Structure formats: C-alpha cells, structure tokens
Amino acid sequence: MTTAKKVASKSSKSELGIDVKDLKVHYDTPDGVVKAVDGVSFSLRQGERMALVGESGSGKSTLAMALMRLTRAPGRIAGGQVYVGGRDMLDLDEEEMRLQRLNEVALVPQGAMNSLNPVMKIKNQLLDGLYDHQTEGDQKMSKEEQVEIVEKLLTAVDLAPSVAEMYPHELSGGMKQRVAIAIATSMEPRVIVADEPTSALDVVVQRNVMQTLGRLQEGLHASIILIGHDMGLVAQFSDHVGVMYAGRLVEVGPVKTVFKSPKHPYTRLLIKSLPTLSNKKDFIGIPGLPATLLNLPEGCAFCLRIGQTNPEKIPWVNVAKDHFIQDCKKCSSYGK
C-alpha cells in the first residue's frame, strides 16, 4: 500500500486501532503452566494512547510480544483474538504476519537500545526492515533514495543525518533509543507497542525521548500501547491506563479518573507508592509478594497477596465513564 493510501485508510478517527479479546499466553514449564497473560481484553481507537502498568512479572512484556505474535517457546498463545485493521493477527499465516509487522504493528522492545545489531551501521539497520517488506515485484531502492529515506527517518527522531554512518557503540543510550523508535515507525504502523522504552535512561533524556515518540505517534495517527512500571511517567503520556496484576487487567479507564479515584485496591497501592514530597519520610510500598503465576486460581489473584481468598470469577464493573474494574467483593475496599 502506498503511503498516501495508507494515511487515507488510517485517517478515520473513530476507527479501532487495535481490539484485543480474551488474550491468553501461557508458558509450559516443568513445574506447570504459567498463565502470564490470562484473558486480557482492551481496545484502542486510532490515535489513542494507552499505558499498561503493573509490577515486574505481571505479564506486560509477554503481552507485548503476543500482540506482535512474537511469542516463543516455552510460551504459546493459548487463546484470544488481536484485531488490527479489522483482521485477526492470530489468524494469519506466518508470511502474512511477517508483512504485518512494522507495517501494521510495530514494537519498540524492552531494552530496545540493546536490540540494535552492534556490527551494523545505523543506516543499514534502518533499511533492513524496509527491505524485508519488499515483495518480489518491487523495484530496488536507488542509492539516492536510500540516503533520503535514512535521513528522513533520523530527522524524524531528532537525530543528525551523520548518525547514519555510525555504529551503535558510538551512540548514547538516548540516541540508540531514538534509532529503535525510528525503526519501529519506519513503515508508519497503525499500532505501536512500546515496552518500557525509556526505563534505562535518565529523567531528562526520558522526557525528550517520550516527546519524540509522542510526536511521531500523533503524526501517524497511530494507537500506542506504552508499557511501564512507572505510573508517573506513563500517566503523563497517555489518555488511558490499564493496570495489570498477575497476568490480568484489573482496572482500565481514563488516566485522570483512575489517578484521581482509583477503584481497584492494587491500583490504589500503586498510586500510593509513588513518592511525593508530603510522604517522603514514609516509604509506602506494596505488601506481600508479587503473585506467582503458576497454577493461579480462577478467582481473585489480588486476594492472595493480602492473605484472603475468593475463588469466584470476578466480574467487570463499570464504575464511571469508560472506567472499569475487576470488582472483588472480598478485597475491593483494601487500602482505602
């Protein structure tokens, strides 16, 4: 599809960018099945930004890889649908899916700065993805076209064209992260999944890189799923937030509403554990140990964290406009 056509087909504001239904990703381990993503559903319109937060081990990266259909053994996608542009990604054959990556869905992987090839010049890493998507009938790019495309991609992420001739070790962490973002957006994807894109950077660089990512995403009118454990950073960037606990979403809603009035006990604890000037003397952490995802029961996973049990299936409840929680009768008032 040409860029003009693509932009036209992506321009409808109300069109869904991504629609995830009951996605399950399991790891088969010698000790049993780890349900790292256990029935996750959410959708985003084009141009919308959603943050996915949750502590380490809650299944965020597993979810990100599954959205790209990059799950590898011992992991497997155990169920669900991932609609992008009206097609279920999980239903495509391998070749069709290869063409969808970068073109429709693109990932800025966790630790993206280490995902660059150390022995390849930046320009070749930028062109790699584009070549990979050429089909047999396509004309080869001329040298001039290559230089032009590389320059355009680098400029879009605020890097100098001279970076094209460099190797990753010659770049700072922030610059490498910008290259990773340039690769992810090189084919103007409809959906961008960014897995902790700035967690290894200092706060000033973090902010600048996020601004660049946001500007690109807006320009493409792409949906973006920003994964992070830092509630503060992701909240600044996003319109919506989804909170993950033990492989499940437990609360979703507009960032402002969720921050102002978190309804799930785990979200409340996450927000309370953010450092502020007024509580700087008392560090408020989250009690208990993170859930083990092995043989997790059907019912409420958070109850186990606080020494309770509720084996019943927990319903979704609409608590405010666009704001939903997994409403467990046993633990919902915990930490109020």
Ligand X SMILES: Nc1ncnc2c1ncn2[C@@H]1O[C@H](COP(=O)(O)OP(=O)(O)O)[C@@H](O)[C@H]1O
The answer to whether the CB of 227 falls within 8 A of the CB of 195 is yes
Q: Which is nearer to ligand X, 74 or 288 (CB)?
A: 74
Q: Minimum distance between the CB of residue 242 and ligand X, rounded to whole angstroms? A: 12
> Is residue 27 a contact residue for ligand X (CB under 6 A)?
yes
Count the residues of the shown chain that bind ligand X, applying the rule CB under 6 A. 15
Q: What is the DSSP letter of 277?
A: S
Token pair, residue 117, equals: 């090839």
Residues 6+ apart with CB under 8 A from 18: 43, 44, 67, 82, 83, 84, 105, 190, 191, 223, 225
Q: Is 61 in the site for ligand X (CB under 6 A)?
A: yes
Q: Which is nearer to ligand X, 58 or 100 (CB)?
A: 58
Given Mg ion, ligand X, none, residue 27, with its beta carbon under 5 to 8 Å by kind, binds: ligand X
Residue with structure tokens 């930490």?
Answer: 335
Residue 253 engages ligand X in binding (rule: CB under 6 A): no
Q: Are 199 and 18 a contacting pair, CB within 8 Å?
A: no
Contact between 30 and ligand X per CB under 6 A: no
Pairing label, strands 223-228, 191-195: parallel
Nearer to ligand X, 57 or 214 (CB): 57
Residue from 2, 56, 139, 142 that binds ligand X (CB under 6 A)?
A: 56
Signed CA dihedral, 111, 27, 18, 260: sign only:
negative
Residue number, 164 or 244, with CB nearest to ligand X: 244
Among 33, 39, 41, 57, binds ligand X (CB under 6 A): 57
Q: Which of Mg ion, ligand X, none is residue 59 near (CB under 5 to 8 Å by kind)? A: ligand X
Give yes or no for residue 61 binding Mg ion (CB under 5 A): yes
Q: How far apart are CA 190 and CA 52, in angstroms?
A: 18
In the bound state with ligand X, the residue whose beta carbon lies nearer, of 54 and 253, is 54
Site for ligand X in 260-299 (CB under 6 A): 293
- What six digits make up the tokens of 232? 């503060």
**DSSP string spanning 239-255?**
SEEEEEETTEEEEEEEH
Are 145 and 123 a contacting pair, CB within 8 Å? no
Which of 59, 174, 262, 265 contacts ligand X by CB under 6 A? 59
CB of 39 to ligand X, least distance (A): 15
E strand or H helix that includes residue 323 = strand 323-326
Q: Find the helix or strand (DSSP H, E) in which 149 lies.
A: helix 143-156
DSSP category for residue 138: S
The interface region with ligand X, picked from 13-21, 58-66, 88-96, 315-323 by CB under 6 A, is 58-66
Count helices and strands in the chain by DSSP H and E runs: 11, 12
Window 70-89: contact mask with ligand X (x via CB under 6 A): ----xx--------------
Q: Which stretch binds ligand X (CB under 6 A): 13-21, 50-58, 152-160, 184-192?
A: 50-58
Q: Which residues in the 273-292 window bind Mg ion by CB under 5 A? A: none
Nearer to ligand X, 111 or 161 (CB): 111
Query: What are the structure tokens assigned to 206, written together?
Result: 């973090």
Site residues for ligand X per CB under 6 A: 27, 29, 34, 36, 54, 56-62, 74-75, 293
Site residues for Mg ion per CB under 5 A: 60-61, 110
